[in-house]
Amino acid sequence: MRSSPRHDPVTDELQSKIKTLHSSIWERRADWPEVLDWLDQFEENDDPDADEQLQALRLLSSFMYFGVNEIRALLRSLFRDTFRPQVAKEVRSSLSSSITLGMVGSMVEAELRRTRFVSLGNPSESSALLLYYFRQENSLPKNLFLHGSDIFDLSALGSGGSLMVQNTDITRYVFIDDLCGSGHQAKEYSDRVVKPLKSISPDVKTYYYPIFGLSNGIEHLRTHSAFDEVYPVVELDPTFRAFATDSRLYVEPKIAQLRLPTEATCRRYGGELVPAHPLGWEDGQLYIGFAHNTPDNSLPIFWCDHTGSRPWRPIFRRYPKVFW
């Protein structure tokens, strides 16, 4: 156990880094006894290269945690730097080149009034919480927000009528999410909500803006979904996958050789915890967590909370969706 007084410079350095993270951006979510408790689930070995605890500790020291303040800042950026400039661009391209800045500004404001921000999932899920922060951070009025089911008017359906749009004045729908991994969930949503919407109102514009997005998932949505615009605030390229050949965790030559053994360790434990996705949902291999939850695209060793046949104590717990 790494609680012994033995002096190991590598462990000391990692412990020091985790202490700094814990007391700053991790919002005191993992103090050392908790880290030790988590590490205790891995095997210890005198050979540092084969020491699972050291591998796990190293991975943990790279865990990217986004607290409430960081998420709020990213949501500000989503509106200010991503959506609003996009609307301004669209407004300008619809006008002749002689328009004044003031005119563009007022037209953007008018367009914003005809925009609705939509949470991507169930009202009890995290995207609803994100929309709450999003509204506060960008000082937006409540009437600009709605749930996906409120986009449509279903009243005529029973009496032989067709599916209609609730408010035909709306020109833009913005769908906000915390993370786009493989893009499959957002694609499903697009098929279920965005496609019918576009079939009724082809001129309506739809935007999918996750805070974080894996490059592959974003590309998948751009080519296969009905969203007009897909853009993450922070794009995570493949180097953010823990065990990719060009993973940014194992760039330093002296630790590069630890990539494969660490992957094997994570795969072994992950296989027991989430057999279908040992390295995270659809092989996500991420090491990212948010104040409100840890996404299942991250490595299960971080978040899995098992009490069954293979008990496991997480370090950044995930609160799973429970289906009844």
Contact footprint for another protein (CB under 8 A): 5-8, 12, 16, 19, 22-23, 28-34, 317
Residue closer to another protein, measured from CB, 57 or 279 = 57
Number of neighbouring beta carbons within 10 Å of residue 299: 30
Q: How far is the CB of 310 from another protein (least distance, A)?
A: 22
Least distance CB 19 / another protein (angstroms): 5
Cβ 214 to another protein shortest distance, Å:
27
**Distances, alpha carbon 133 to alpha carbons 70, 137, 180, in Å:** 11, 6, 19
Q: Residue 32 or residue 133: which is nearer to another protein going by CB?
A: 32
> Quick one: 30 or 301, whose CB is closer to another protein?
30
Q: How far is the CB of 36 from another protein (least distance, A)?
A: 9
Q: Which is nearer to another protein, 8 or 70 (CB)?
A: 8
CA atoms within 13 A on the CB side of 37: 11
Q: Which helix (H) or strand (E) is 39 found in, with range?
A: helix 32-39
Q: Is there a contact between 144 and 179 (Cβ–Cβ < 8 Å)?
A: no
**Closest among 267, 321, 275 to 294, alpha carbons compared:** 321
CB of 13 to another protein, least distance (A): 11
In angstroms, how far is CA 234 from the centroid of its own chain? 9
Cβ nearer to another protein, comparing 33 with 202? 33
Q: Report, in Å, the least distance between residue 269 CB and another protein.
A: 21
CA distances from 212 to 233, 275, 302 (A): 6, 26, 19
Considering only CA atoms, which of 280, 282, 283 is closest in space to residue 316?
280
**32 vs 152 by CB, closer to another protein:** 32
